[in-house]
């Protein structure tokens, strides 16, 4: 197979070498972290080291980090009636932005009739007035807003949403899965009561996530009951190697921090300058602050399904909106929520970059686009 260029980092990232090393080391530990013997204690130590690394990355206390098997599981665990913190709550309904991930839109453990959507602007940013309006009457709500959108990269006003939620006696959940490692993220600065994280978006393994809660949160009912793991928040033998890989990945991501982000942003800008040379290009959410690595675009006549296949045949892995689904290309619910019609919502291609993306990758991608554009944009 000829050399491939991977530009689908928002779907999942290649493993960081640090994560591989941590997981390979974990493989040599036979023990179950719940066992009291030396082998068990060693396995437990790996878990607790990873927990501390993750907690430090987002400003939480270790005891408030619960590992899960995915960002989706963290979201479903977080979105539950009955949560409270101090005088706020118990929450009885859920407000989610219309551009959230499918697992948040599904409402977690709230009944469908208790879930409402908050509008977004044409730039894909949550409409805080609509949030305020919906919070003005009714029982305390849990508000779930992502820190950054996975398709457009648009950053969301999570801190402001949190203030508005708090004033009404509600709580804030932040899906920080796409933001972690790309922008600064501190749950106390944001004012998040709960935050979901995922390993495989930052160079850790697929199949590991975490729910972080702020000090004072209570009423979190486990989704998986049985053994007493994760301080009773989640039963089941822990994915020790995966969690160790998550810890190593977050440590590496934090160390790389801003430098990595600025480098990605430079490449992203270079990519967008190149794409713009095609006539009539639309760059979604370009008017607002975005993740440094994400470009969602379309052009007149572009069909995402054909474009993704075209890029793939040219050796470039790209995506049409969210990949966290069944592999079918459907109109992007994000673009629909932003007010674009189905034709445009089916025509958007996402290019997302990562720490190993090179200038040569960008050049390859632009060359492929020049080749494809003439064919794809014909009608």
Binding residues among 290-329 for its own copies as defined by CB under 8 A? 308-309, 311-312, 317-319, 322-329
With respect to its own copies, which residue has the nearer C-beta, 72 or 298? 72
Task: Please give the residues from 76 up to 115 whose contact with its own copies meets the rule CB under 8 A.
Answer: 76, 101-108
Q: Which of residues 31-70 bind its own copies (CB under 8 A)?
A: 31-32, 34-40, 44, 68-70
Q: How far is the CB of 198 from its own copies (least distance, A)?
A: 8
Q: By CB under 8 A, is residue 240 in contact with its own copies?
A: yes
* For the chain, the helix, strand and coil percentages under 3-state DSSP, each to the nearest 5: 40, 15, 45
Q: How far is the CB of 262 from its own copies (least distance, A)?
A: 23
Minimum CB separation of residue 325 from its own copies in Å reads 4
Residue in 292, 289, 290, 275 with CA at minimum distance from that of residue 349: 275
Active site residue 365: no
Total of residues contacting its own copies (CB under 8 A): 79
- Cβ closest to its own copies, residue 318 vs residue 362: 318
Residue bearing tokens 């509008």: 119
Output 318 or 364, the one with its CB closest to its own copies.
318
Smallest gap, in angstroms, from Cβ of residue 22 to its own copies?
A: 12
180 forms part of the interface with its own copies (CB under 8 A): no
Q: 25, 309, 324, 377: which is the annotated catalytic residue?
A: 324
315 contacts: CB under 8 Å, gap ≥ 6 = 2, 3, 4, 5, 364, 368
Residue 303, helix vs strand vs coil: coil
Task: Find out whether 207 and 216 touch, Cβ atoms under 8 Å.
Answer: no
Q: Which of 18, 50, 60, 75 binds its own copies (CB under 8 A)?
A: 75
Determine if 360 is a binding residue for its own copies (CB under 8 A).
no
The interface mask with its own copies, positions 210-239, x = CB under 8 A, is: -------------xxxxxxx--x--xxxxx
Residue 279, class by beta-carbon neighbours within 10 Å (0-12 exposed, 13-18 middle, 19+ buried)? Answer: exposed
Q: Considering only residues 96, 142, 161, 208, which one is a binding residue for its own copies as defined by CB under 8 A?
A: 208
Please give the Cα distance from 207 to 133 (Å, whole number): 37
Q: Where does 225-358 have alpha helices with state H?
A: 240-276, 304-313, 333-337, 342-345
Tell me the pairing of strands 282-283 and 294-298.
Answer: antiparallel
* Least CB distance to its own copies at residue 310 (A): 11
The partner residues of 67 in beta bridges, in order of sequence, read: 210
Q: Which of 64, 72, 168, 278 binds its own copies (CB under 8 A)?
A: 72
CA separation for the pair 303, 341 (Å, rounded): 13
């Amino acid at each position: 197979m000829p050399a491939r260029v991977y530009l689908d980092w928002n779907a999942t990232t290649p493993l960081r070498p640090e994560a591989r090393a941590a997981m390979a080391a974990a493989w040599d530990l036979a023990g179950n972290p719940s066992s009291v013997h030396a082998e068990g204690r060693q396995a437990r130590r790996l878990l607790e080291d990873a927990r501390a690394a993750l907690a430090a990355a987002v400003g939480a206390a270790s005891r408030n980090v619960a590992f899960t098997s995915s960002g989706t599981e963290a979201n479903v665990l977080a979105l539950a009636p009955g949560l409270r913190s101090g005088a706020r709550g118990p929450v009885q309904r859920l407000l989610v932005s219309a551009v959230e991930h499918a697992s948040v839109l599904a409402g977690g453990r709230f009944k469908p009739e208790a879930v409402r959507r908050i509008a977004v602007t044409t730039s894909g940013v949550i409409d805080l007035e609509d949030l305020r309006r919906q919070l003005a009457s009714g029982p305390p709500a849990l508000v779930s807003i992502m820190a950054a959108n996975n398709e457009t990269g648009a950053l969301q006003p999570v801190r402001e949403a949190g203030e508005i939620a708090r004033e009404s006696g509600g709580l804030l959940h932040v899906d920080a899965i796409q933001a972690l490692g790309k922008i600064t993220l501190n749950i106390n600065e944001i004012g998040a009561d709960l935050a979901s994280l995922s390993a495989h978006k930052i160079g850790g393994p697929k199949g590991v996530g975490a729910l972080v809660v702020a000090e004072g949160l209570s009423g979190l009912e486990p989704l998986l009951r049985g053994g007493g793991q994760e301080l009773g928040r989640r039963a089941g033998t822990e994915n020790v190697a995966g969690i160790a890989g998550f810890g190593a990945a977050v440590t590496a991501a934090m160390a790389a921090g801003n430098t990595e982000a600025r480098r990605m942003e430079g490449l992203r800008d270079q990519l967008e300058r190149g794409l713009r040379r095609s006539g009539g290009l639309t760059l979604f959410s370009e008017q607002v602050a975005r993740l440094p690595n994400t470009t969602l675009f379309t052009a007149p006549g572009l069909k995402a399904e054909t474009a993704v296949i075209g890029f793939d045949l040219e050796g470039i892995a790209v995506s049409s909106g969210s990949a966290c689904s069944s592999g079918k290309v459907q109109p992007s619910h994000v673009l629909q929520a932003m007010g674009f019609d189905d034709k445009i919502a089916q025509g958007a291609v996402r290019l997302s970059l990562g720490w190993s993306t090179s200038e040569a990758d960008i050049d390859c991608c632009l060359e492929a686009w020049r080749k494809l554009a003439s064919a794809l944009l014909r009608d």
